């Protein structure tokens, strides 16, 4: 994920640096265990620590605990290890986050005028169709800004405008990788693609709910405070699902892997785009 915004957050002192690092590590580690088709006790311990730490960084990413369902059942050495990984880890994350919410609620402050968190929660729970329409309206009106923020057109505190070339080229690179990457030792499944897409949608819904009840005025017709960087920890999920769909078609057609030279070109272009973004940030500071 060599996106300029990702590198900017990793170099900052905000919680996003830890959140992004844990999110990328957890997804990559689970994919590694899946490819090896073997989950050892120490692997479960690593997944447990990373999942708990990520969910405690920001509660909306507690859904990432469900990544453990990408691990095939035959990869576990025994039934106890499978039950602990599939059930114990997600439940533990939920329990720990519930405890933390009870402890931290006394320290939460409402900054936006008109915010009433308890009343907002009640409104969302009793007007689910209305809240769904509010969410759709928010994305229809601000989707372009979210994409620009995610792919590096708007940097800093959105007060630094990057070259439009950077954002456009990164979108093209992501589509190129999703369409061309075919290397995998295991054949992808519809179940894995469904899990990844559901996790992305669920995390998006939690982001919207969180900002609506904590950052948006009561009964406002738009959700305030959504930023493109909030989607970075789970951005790889739909991309990987798209790669799986393409990979399955290529495996059926007997197509081989993405050539290493093509991957090298993509990395070089990504580095060049990051260099442009770095120069833009230095000139603006």
Q: What is the pLDDT of residues 198-207, one digit of tens each?
A: 999 999 999 9
Partnered with residue 76 across adjacent β-strands are 39
Q: Which of 38-47, 108-117, 118-127 ranks highest by mean pLDDT?
A: 38-47
Q: What's the pTM?
A: 0.84
First to last CA, the chain: 24
What pLDDT is stored for residue 282 in this prediction? 75
Confidence band for 285, pLDDT divided at 50, 70 and 90: low
pLDDT digits (tens, 9 = 90+) for 59-115: 999 999 999 999 998 999 899 999 999 999 999 999 999 998 888 877 766 667 778
| DSSP characters over 44-101 | HHHHHHHHHHHHHH-GGGGGGGGGGGGS-GGGBSSHHHHHIIIIIHHHHHHHHHHHHH
Nearest CA to 67 out of 82, 80, 83, 85 is that of 85
CB 65 within 8 A of CB 55: yes
Distance of CA 241 to the CA centre of its chain: 13
pLDDT at residue 241 above 60? Answer: yes
Nearest CA to 150 out of 226, 236, 227 is that of 227
Among the residues of 108-215, which ranges form H helices? 117-126, 128-150, 164-180, 190-214
Q: Which two structure tokens, joined as six digits, stand for 183? A: 């290397």
Domain that holds residue 274: 4-284
pLDDT at residue 185 above 70? Answer: no
Q: Which two structure tokens, joined as six digits, stand for 47? A: 């997944």
Lowest mean pLDDT among 20-24, 152-156, 232-236, 269-273: 152-156
The residue ranking higher by pLDDT, 53 or 179, is 53
pLDDT at residue 220 above 60? Answer: yes
| DSSP characters over 118-138 | HHHHHHHHH-HHHHHHHHHHH
Distance, in Å, from the CA atom of 137 to the CA atom of 269, rounded to the nearest integer, reads: 35
The residue ranking higher by pLDDT, 65 or 280, is 65
Count of domains forming the chain? 1
What pLDDT is stored for residue 250 in this prediction? 53
What pLDDT is stored for residue 202 in this prediction? 95
Provide mean pLDDT across the span 12-32.
89
């Amino acid at each position: 994920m060599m996106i300029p915004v990702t590198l900017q957050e990793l170099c900052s002192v905000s919680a996003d640096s830890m959140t992004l690092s844990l999110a990328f590590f957890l997804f990559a580690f689970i994919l590694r265990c899946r490819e090896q088709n073997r989950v050892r006790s120490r692997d479960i311990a690593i997944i447990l620590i990373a999942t708990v730490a990520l969910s405690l960084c920001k509660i909306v990413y507690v859904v990432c605990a469900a990544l453990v369902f990408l691990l095939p059942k035959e990869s576990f050495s025994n039934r106890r290890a499978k039950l602990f990984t599939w059930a114990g880890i997600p439940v533990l994350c939920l329990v720990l986050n519930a405890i933390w919410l009870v402890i931290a609620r006394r320290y939460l402050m409402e900054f936006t005028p008109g915010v009433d968190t308890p009343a907002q929660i009640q409104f969302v729970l009793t007007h689910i169709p209305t809240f769904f329409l509010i969410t759709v309206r928010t994305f229809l009106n601000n989707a372009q800004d979210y994409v620009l923020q995610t792919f590096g057109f708007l940097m800093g505190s959105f007060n630094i405008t990057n070259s439009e070339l950077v954002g456009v080229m990164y979108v093209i690179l992501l589509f190129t990788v999703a369409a061309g990457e075919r290397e995998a030792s295991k054949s992808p499944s519809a179940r894995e693609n469904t899990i990844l897409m559901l996790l992305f949608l669920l995390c998006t819904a939690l982001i919207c709910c969180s900002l609506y009840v904590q950052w948006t005025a009561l009964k406002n017709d738009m959700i305030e405070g959504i930023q493109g960087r909030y989607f970075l920890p789970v951005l790889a999920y739909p991309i990987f699902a798209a790669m799986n769909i393409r990979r399955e078609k290529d495996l059926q057609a007997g197509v081989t892997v993405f050539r290493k030279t093509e991957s090298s070109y993509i990395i070089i272009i990504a580095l060049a785009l990051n260099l442009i973004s770095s120069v833009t940030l230095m000139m603006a500071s």
